């Protein structure tokens, strides 16, 4: 043996595992299975490695960072997602750095480049609008584990965690149809995103299976925010078809729709039914409590982090795609009687 100190890399080579797996074992992470852990610990003893966390820091190795890049931090969905991720990454001994792109591709490139420079162990990305597989290729080529969440990036060889947008929306609209609604608007969301297309597909499918032809004029796109929801609801209320219900792109839009309805003397949950999508914390306590398609933002964050740690632990970026279930949660905002067209026009 040479005189130089034994490194994590030496142990990884000798044990036939990745450097990250060795790090996880050194941190007593529960993410490493027993067989691997035993093998790594045996190698550590054989080579006489002494783990010194402070020394590791002084050598410039630093604590391991997981990068979280989201597209809109002002939407509380993303804050909740990040908090869920943090629960998992923290207990595994990582530090989480969060960056907000505000839907800018340039910004996204910049923050990812910076996180790479700082040696991140892995990246969880809710991609900005217009992100393509080419944007993620350098990361994949460098062997950096990546999990894409919320919005899939077609063709990218990265793990993906999205929710069942189409199924969830279909179920919500089917519920509104059962309640007797026939004129149901789709409110909010950027029309150029895949998530929007999927949710509109679920909306159309439910209405068409009830024999209702959907006009493009029933779909009111807007920014996926509270302000966007006010705009979309205001436009919908001015429409000749006198809607009695709306399915919203997300909860932020649904809250805005409720604001917009009230501003026009319509009471959500009493004379207009509103359903959101996401189930942010606020949905439960809002008045009226928001009916929504729940994808459990914190749970989704935890799951994304688990997918990433699994990849980091495996030491190679094996892509998997998980479409998590969406569950209709009925609260007060979707209640209320159905106005006749004459009443609705009043």
Q: Which of 224, 256, 301, 336 forms a contact with a copy of itself (CB under 8 A)? A: 256
At 315, list the tokens.
Answer: 């030491």
Q: Residues 152 to 211: which contact a copy of itself by CB under 8 A?
A: none
Tokens 């490139």: give the residue.
109
Q: Which residues pair with 185 in a beta bridge?
A: 246
Q: Which of 17, 230, 247, 339 forms a contact with a copy of itself (CB under 8 A)? A: 230
| 259 part of the interface to a copy of itself, by CB under 8 A | yes
Applying CB under 8 A, the span of 72-80, 159-167, 212-220, 300-308 interacting with a copy of itself comes to 72-80
Binding mask 282-311 for a copy of itself (x = CB under 8 A): x--xxx------------------------
Q: Which of 128, 258, 309, 329 forms a contact with a copy of itself (CB under 8 A)? A: 258
19 three-class SS: helix
Peptide bond into 73 cis (omega under 30): no
Bin 119: left if φ > 0, else alpha if -120 < ψ < 50, else beta. Answer: left
Name the residue among 231, 147, 160, 149 with its Cα closest to residue 190.
231
Q: Residues 43 to 62: which contact a copy of itself by CB under 8 A?
A: 57, 60, 62
Name the residue among 61, 34, 46, 37 with its Cα closest to residue 10.
46
What is the closest distance, in whole angstroms, from the C-beta atom of residue 80 to a copy of itself in the complex? 6
Contact 159, 311 (CB under 8 A): yes
Rg (CA), the chain: 24
**Residues binding a copy of itself: number (CB under 8 A):** 43
Three-state secondary structure string covering 129-165: CCCCHHHHHHHHHCCCCEEEECCCCCCCCCEEEEECH
Q: Residues 84 to 113: which contact a copy of itself by CB under 8 A?
A: 86, 90, 95-100, 102, 107, 110-111, 113
Query: Which residues in this chain contact a copy of itself in the complex, by CB under 8 A?
Result: 57, 60, 62-63, 65, 73-74, 76, 79-80, 82-83, 86, 90, 95-100, 102, 107, 110-111, 113-115, 117-119, 226-227, 230, 256, 258-259, 262-263, 281-282, 285-287
């Amino acid at each position: 043996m040479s005189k130089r100190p034994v490194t994590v890399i030496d142990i990884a080579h000798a044990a036939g595992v990745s450097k990250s797996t060795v790090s996880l074992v050194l941190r007593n992470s529960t993410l490493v299975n027993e067989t691997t852990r035993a093998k790594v610990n045996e190698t550590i003893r054989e080579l006489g490695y002494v783990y010194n966390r402070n020394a590791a820091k002084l050598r410039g190795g630093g604590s391991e960072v997981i990068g979280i890049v989201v597209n809109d931090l002002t939407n509380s969905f993303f804050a909740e997602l990040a908090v869920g991720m943090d629960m998992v990454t923290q207990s595994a001994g990582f530090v989480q750095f969060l960056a907000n792109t505000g839907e800018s591709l340039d910004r996204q490139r910049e923050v990812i480049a910076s996180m790479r420079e700082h040696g991140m162990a892995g990246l969880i990305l809710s991609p900005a609008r217009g992100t393509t597989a080419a944007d993620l290729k350098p990361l994949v080529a460098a062997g950096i584990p990546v999990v894409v969440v919320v919005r899939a990036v077609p063709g990218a060889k990265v793990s993906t965690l999205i929710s069942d947008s189409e199924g969830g929306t279909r179920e919500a609209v089917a519920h509104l149809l059962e309640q007797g609604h026939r004129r149901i608007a789709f409110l909010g969301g950027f029309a150029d995103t895949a998530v929007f297309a999927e949710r509109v597909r679920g909306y159309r499918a439910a209405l068409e299976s009830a024999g209702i032809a959907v006009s493009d004029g029933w779909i009111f796109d807007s920014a996926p925010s509270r302000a966007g929801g006010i705009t979309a609801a205001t436009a919908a209320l001015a429409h000749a078809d006198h809607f009695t219900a709306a399915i919203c792109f997300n909860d932020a839009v649904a809250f805005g729709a409720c604001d917009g309805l009230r501003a026009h003397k319509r009471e959500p949950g009493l004379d207009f039914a509103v359903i959101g999508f996401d189930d942010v914390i606020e949905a439960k306590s809002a008045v009226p409590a928001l009916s929504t398609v729940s994808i459990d933002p914190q749970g989704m964050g935890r799951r994304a982090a688990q997918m990433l740690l699994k990849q980091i632990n495996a030491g190679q970026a094996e892509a998997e795609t998980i479409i998590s279930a969406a569950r209709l949660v009925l609260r007060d905002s979707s209640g209320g009687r159905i106005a006749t067209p004459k009443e609705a026009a009043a």
